[in-house]
């Protein structure tokens, strides 16, 4: 397949460079991926830019949790978008819902206006919305370029039927990017079912921390996450996914 997109979500320089070496089309740059991703720092963006000119889409998400944001949080998001626009990031990745589960049109309009010509992805807030087809049409009307979705299920394979229907209904007006559990084997299965050409993956492996002295009695974050596990994108996992995509007729 010639016109595929393989986007890798990364939250470190090491992961970003591994993704690029593996052949990723572009990066979704995040902070704090173990909790679903938050807005990355500008210094992280700078460090990656020193090493690569890969296309970078910056996640704009002020906190962990739902996508119903306060006025203060929306102002923070505006400022974050402005910073990444000024730093010449190619796109922003955003999503805002109302309390009723519908897309917050006015908030999205405000953020897209701040993006001022950058490409825009509606992230997996889409997977938490009430009506995916209504939300897709609203996103198209807003000028959103891409919807990232697992088909409103825990993984894109489980959500494959909705992804198929979204691609069919989109009719090329917006790119439907499958995410959630994507890897080379999933792409092999998913492509014939959905016809999708865009995929989003972390390609992560878990590395052991170099720390030799370990204080097991204290947790610095979520008790379910070990301080001594490092999540990092694997160059090999990305390369295998690229090989599958290139081999699709």
Contact predicate 182/200, CB 8 Å: yes
Residues 40 and 35: their CA atoms lie apart, in Å, by 13
Residues 121 and 91: their CA atoms lie apart, in Å, by 8
The helix, strand and coil proportions of the chain, stated in percent and rounded to the nearest 5, come to 40, 20, 40
Residues 91 and 200: their CA atoms lie apart, in Å, by 15
Tell me the pTM: 0.95
One pLDDT digit (tens) per residue for the chain, 249 residues = 889 999 999 999 999 999 999 999 999 999 999 999 999 999 999 999 999 999 999 999 999 999 999 999 999 999 999 999 999 999 999 999 999 999 999 999 999 999 999 999 999 999 999 999 999 999 999 999 999 999 999 999 999 999 999 999 999 999 999 999 999 999 999 999 999 999 999 999 999 999 999 888 877 777 777 888 899 999 999 999 999 999 997
Q: Please give the DSSP secondary-structure letter assigned to residue 46.
A: H
- State the Cα torsion 21-24-27-32 to the nearest 10°: -70
Res 57: pLDDT: 98
């Amino acid at each position: 397949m010639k016109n595929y997109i393989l986007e890798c979500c990364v939250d470190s320089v090491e992961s970003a460079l591994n993704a690029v070496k593996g052949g990723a089309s572009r990066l979704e740059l995040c902070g704090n991926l173990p909790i679903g991703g938050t807005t990355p720092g500008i210094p992280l963006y700078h460090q990656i830019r020193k090493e690569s000119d890969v296309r970078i889409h910056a996640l704009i998400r002020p906190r962990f949790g739902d996508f119903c944001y306060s006025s203060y949080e929306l102002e923070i998001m505006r400022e974050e978008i402005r910073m990444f626009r000024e730093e010449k990031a190619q796109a922003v990745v955003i999503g805002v819902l109302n309390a009723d589960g519908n897309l917050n049109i006015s908030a999205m309009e405000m953020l897209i206006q701040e993006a001022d010509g950058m490409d825009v992805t509606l992230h997996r807030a889409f997977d938490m919305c009430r009506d995916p087809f209504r939300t897709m049409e609203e996103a198209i009307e807003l000028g959103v370029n891409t919807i990232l979705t697992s088909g409103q299920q825990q993984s894109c394979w489980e959500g494959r039927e909705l992804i198929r229907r979204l691609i069919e209904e989109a009719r090329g007006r917006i790119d439907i990017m499958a995410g959630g559990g994507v890897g080379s084997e999933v792409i092999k299965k998913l492509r014939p079912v959905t016809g999708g050409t865009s995929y989003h993956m972390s390609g992560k492996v878990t590395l052991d921390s170099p720390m030799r002295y370990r204080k097991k009695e204290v947790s610095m974050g979520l008790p379910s996450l070990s301080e001594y596990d490092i999540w990092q994108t694997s160059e090999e996992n990305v390369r295998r996914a690229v090989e599958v995509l290139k081999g699709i007729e």
